[in-house]
Structure 1
């Protein structure tokens, strides 16, 4: 017998199928017994990290999520098999949410030439397979939408930091003002956007959000206003030297952000979760033009009233001369706790930045200092991080059926074997 002559039997279909057909999948798939990542025995003694959380009309099983991380593997700004495997693997392992990497809202707005985009329907349809597979595993999955502004169209970070991609078109590099991120750096100086172009970009954010819901089926959308990208550039007087309605005063500099929030809200269903990530500080307080925590504390209640359900707090990225942030657990925690104090119950607040300790995160949640934690690179090293954290906190959680060795049902198997021998 040759390997070529071996053929697996066709899976059963219809009423005789041993497994249900998962929603959105065209093939048989064993559904989990409970929501993956949720506590098996939920009670008031369950660690806060593994208690469910409502965000808008979405309920998630725990309070740790995969942070958006650029993968720089798109083909013509569309998903590849890599993305399906990468996000599919994460969605089977129980994080409260999986957030896909930032997706460009326009052809000239990606952080690199190999970023994903969602400025047309074809791109959105190709993302649907990822969403359907996540939903088959009971996972909540969303995406980040953004415009990189004066930091757009560079090479992938693993290639070389701030290296201008030769495939990019220099005249398409835009920002609030003609101010380069790094003087004498490798990225060209952007040209200042016209007011009409700003209005077009606002519409592009809304259209991207609409596609993410209606075509791709994502569970939430996050607006990227951090790390020196376009919205962040407008917020900061360090990079925004405009003298029109989008520059000058604090109110004018946050205008673009507020109009984008309004446009996104107008293009998603009522109650649909909308997150916002922004840099709470440029980490350069000696620069009088730099955005700082006082600005963020002032901004946070405004965006909460505008309809943001979760504020995802990060820092830095807009000032090439910024101070180095402190390293270690909770490197941006002081910013997140200040923002949580400012918004109270009007919005949820998450923190990112070396949130790599289960007990430390749980203590912050128990104390009400934050509501959620986003984790990045630890999930790349260990996609099963949630299960390790559950074990560390002495909590049993649900898993997908295919991962039965996590909790093998030996007793049931023995009883079944005994019954067949009678």
Structure 2
């Protein structure tokens, strides 16, 4: 049997040796608070690349200092960061995997305390090394301080920051650029009617709420090589009735595809807290399926996919084009080899 998990996939000018990809996972390991990746990031990426993955994607990498989730998060807003990321991209490529970078701005969830600490989930004050968060509207994410509402100059700067970061990323050797528009961070907060209450051209209708994301995608597509692939990660739903819905996300994906976005990475949630989500294995796969179908786009599934058989089943049923995995890779960086063993596939 031809296993789809181990079949190659070509997107634009990028060929992936298989469809098992490492999902972005925050590391919180820039302990000098300078956004500069170092040996931790090289070893972390390298273990997965040497373990046989088709693509390794970096953690959410900030396009500006104020775009970081925490002061310990990585960035690519200067050339020193670019040069350190180049070590990571080169090693990933040397092992046969595609190096990818997720570009991010945390928006109203920025200036958080370091992940997995008791203080995480609230705004770090300036006197402790934090900074004022920004958002489409001056409405706080539960637990965080009220953000500053962005004016049009602030929006223009963020668009420019994304473009400059994309240039540095491809100069560092990354072949895939992903725009992070999920999990309650800045671009998702523009898309969601639960966090965007603007009355200008960036608020109101879905088309207006998607305007900054589409501007960023268009600018990046112009900036990066024709052969480089451009992805967007979406939260397809806010999981509440009056929030963002999969049909909305499919429409935005279709608009994005029209301006040169190649592929979509479908997650969910992050705008609101204290809601019930049934997180059974593959719980987000129906979201991927719906965005693919309604938007007529290619997309990957992510979320509690932990076995080779399940991942293969999703692909065989035509519900996704690739599989992003996070938790299972933290448990077993050589998951690809285990998956091949379980399915009886011989790897080169």
TM-score range, shorter chain: over 0.9
Question: Structure 2: how far apart are the matches of 1:249 and 1:357?
Answer: 40
Which residue number in structure 1 is paired with residue 149 of structure 2?
192
Within a 5 Å distance, the mapping from 1:244-263 to structure 2 comes to 244-263=200-219
Counterpart contact for 1:300–1:342, Cα < 8 Å: no
Which residue number in structure 2 is paired with residue 129 of structure 1?
87
Within a 5 Å distance, the mapping from 1:13-28 to structure 2 comes to none
Counterpart contact for 2:178–2:232, Cα < 8 Å: yes
2:159 aligned with 1:207, yes or no?
no
Within a 5 Å distance, the mapping from 1:221-236 to structure 2 comes to 221-236=177-192
Which residue number in structure 2 is paired with residue 366 of structure 1?
316
Question: Structure 2: how far apart are the matches of 1:334 and 1:128?
Answer: 36
2:293 aligned with 1:341, yes or no?
yes
Instruction: Deviation per CA, 1:108-159: give whole Å up to 9, x if none.
Output: 1101000001011111111111111112212211110010000001012211
Question: Structure 1: how far apart are the matches of 2:317 and 2:56?
Answer: 25
Which residue number in structure 2 is paired with residue 163 of structure 1?
122
What is the DSSP-based 3-state SS (H/G/I as helix, E as strand, rest coil) of the residue aligned with 1:73? coil
What is the DSSP-based 3-state SS (H/G/I as helix, E as strand, rest coil) of the residue aligned with 2:67? coil
Within a 5 Å distance, the mapping from 1:82-121 to structure 2 comes to 82-121=40-79
Structure 1: stretches of 5+ with no match in the other structure: 1-44, 399-422
Question: Structure 1: how far apart are the matches of 2:186 and 2:36?
Answer: 22
* 1:257, distance to aligned residue in structure 2 (A): 0.7
Question: Structure 1: how far apart are the matches of 2:124 and 2:80?
Answer: 24
* 1:324, distance to aligned residue in structure 2 (A): 2.2
Counterpart contact for 2:286–2:319, Cα < 8 Å: no
Instruction: Deviation per CA, 1:197-254: give whole Å up to 9, x if none.
Output: 101100100110000001x111111100000000000011110111111011111101
Look at both structures and tell me which one has the larger radius of gyration over its CA atoms.
1
What is the DSSP-based 3-state SS (H/G/I as helix, E as strand, rest coil) of the residue aligned with 2:266? strand
What is the DSSP-based 3-state SS (H/G/I as helix, E as strand, rest coil) of the residue aligned with 1:163? coil
Within a 5 Å distance, the mapping from 1:9-408 to structure 2 comes to 45-74=1-30, 75=32, 76-160=34-118, 161-166=120-125, 167-170=128-131, 172-182=132-142, 185=143, 187-214=144-171, 216-285=172-241, 288=242, 290-321=243-274, 323-344=275-296, 347-398=297-348
Counterpart contact for 2:247–2:290, Cα < 8 Å: no
Question: Structure 1: how far apart are the matches of 2:295 and 2:13?
Answer: 20
* 1:266, distance to aligned residue in structure 2 (A): 1.1
Question: Structure 1: how far apart are the matches of 2:295 and 2:136?
Answer: 28
What is the DSSP-based 3-state SS (H/G/I as helix, E as strand, rest coil) of the residue aligned with 2:227? coil
- Deviating above 6 A after TM superposition, structure 1's stretches of 4 or more consecutive aligned residues are none
* 1:169, distance to aligned residue in structure 2 (A): 4.2
What is the DSSP-based 3-state SS (H/G/I as helix, E as strand, rest coil) of the residue aligned with 1:122? helix
What is the total number of aligned residue pairs between the two structures? 343
Question: Structure 2: how far apart are the matches of 1:343 and 1:176?
Answer: 25
Question: Structure 2: how far apart are the matches of 1:169 and 1:101?
Answer: 20
What is the DSSP-based 3-state SS (H/G/I as helix, E as strand, rest coil) of the residue aligned with 2:65? coil
Question: Structure 2: how far apart are the matches of 1:316 and 1:235?
Answer: 12
Question: Structure 1: how far apart are the matches of 2:41 and 2:236?
Answer: 30
